[in-house]
Structure 1
């Protein structure tokens, strides 16, 4: 149930000065709440709905404040893609961070399926392509999401997907451009790859691909491929490939989508397809309209490629500098105050919102 938002008059006044007003609570976690709100344009210009994630660092674990929150804020300052939720501004007040973002009218994919049932294959193809393009953009920037699931995929009024929640996301290269593995258990148990359940160091991009396979399966079946509750049983089911399409859909789904899901749910990380292979898969190409990128998709991918090239050159330079000196390299810790720099990069652009956020492909 939606709840009215109670806040101090000073906080409301501070947000109002920036054009924002919070109205109702729509989601709640241990130390983060999500609110519905409004952004007021210039006087006489009207308003439009926004969502706001409020993080209370006093209630959050110290490890989250030191490690995950700075990563999330840094990554939000880097990304801009038509199928990733658009962040307008980030404010800090005392112990709270306010992340203002685009409002998704149809909620998340999990809620959507609870109301509407399994997604028809033709529509699942469109949404899978959108999600895959968002992940391709992230992976090109050497960012892994690490928490892909239906609850983190939002649906807009134009029935497009928006990937959200970068609380577990991380950059997967070091300052020298070398790829690094992960060991943190990230994501929801039913969506995580078997190598994560085993507690091994893992390739976070390959783990994202497993989770994408689970998302596709859930869309088509309105059920999880693995429903075991305890960790040991779940891991065994994953490794032994104890999953199958539900009887109500198995005979109507195409062989191409069955093949793609089977490849993504391979228990061997190195055998899973990379995200570019999903975008260009036989299943996606069954719809001729999806074979070519539209202009904003091209622009986003080109931007990521340029950024990756620049980062690669910087990493090479860092490596050369390291060879020239005997000084031990220590990675600088990031302080939470760097939000001010990022807010300057996240200026609200209503015209950009209209161009990027509502592409009608269906």
Structure 2
């Protein structure tokens, strides 16, 4: 495993020697979130939005972020201030995008109920190798299908990062999204370099129950890094060093939490960017953990304008 020196005071998010401009592709559905928390309800942009905003404000200005998502005219106003900051060549307009009612709790996993689920996204298969990395967030679980995943791997030689997200949840008759065993996940795993799950989601990708046994199985399919986010406790990254499975754990930062929605999406985008830039697992995990913590202190989308500064300075 290639590793560069770790400067913990800076997390060298923008201090990379021999800087090279990058082209990055992020894939995932845009959704409208109806967030219900402690009796109040709020309408916000969601889905791939949080990965997009984190990546755009974190990345160097010369880096070009390409977004592959769906959008509808009536909800475009929620997203346009951020999406206009990235390349929208691969944005597809549809009649409606999903609306998700998120009931958020302090002490357990949130409830999700969908009012609409869109079809698989159309991917730019013939242009994939112009990108330095591909980040896929399975926002609805139907963002791409297995055939598309296999074709992406066949056509693309670079790093593929996938956040399992709502792929871990089935769809009931009343459109509730409950955790289920993902059918045939071994076929997906054979096409992934870095996999992100939380403690609930990891139980949906294998018949094994013990975390390390699941990790061992995933590595047998070819996954290089498996990240398990652990809510208020932090995050652990598993990787192979030599012939052995190794891991590193980073505790969550202590912050006053105002909003948990999008925290995992921010984490994934920051790890993805930092790892492609430096191929350092520990440093990328530290940066992602800090960034996720910072994002929970924002109650307004506009606060992300100082996101990079906050990640670099708030906990120095």
TM-score (norm 1): 0.23
The structure whose residues are more often helix, as a share, is 1
The structure whose residues are more often strand, as a share, is 2
TM-score (norm 2): 0.26
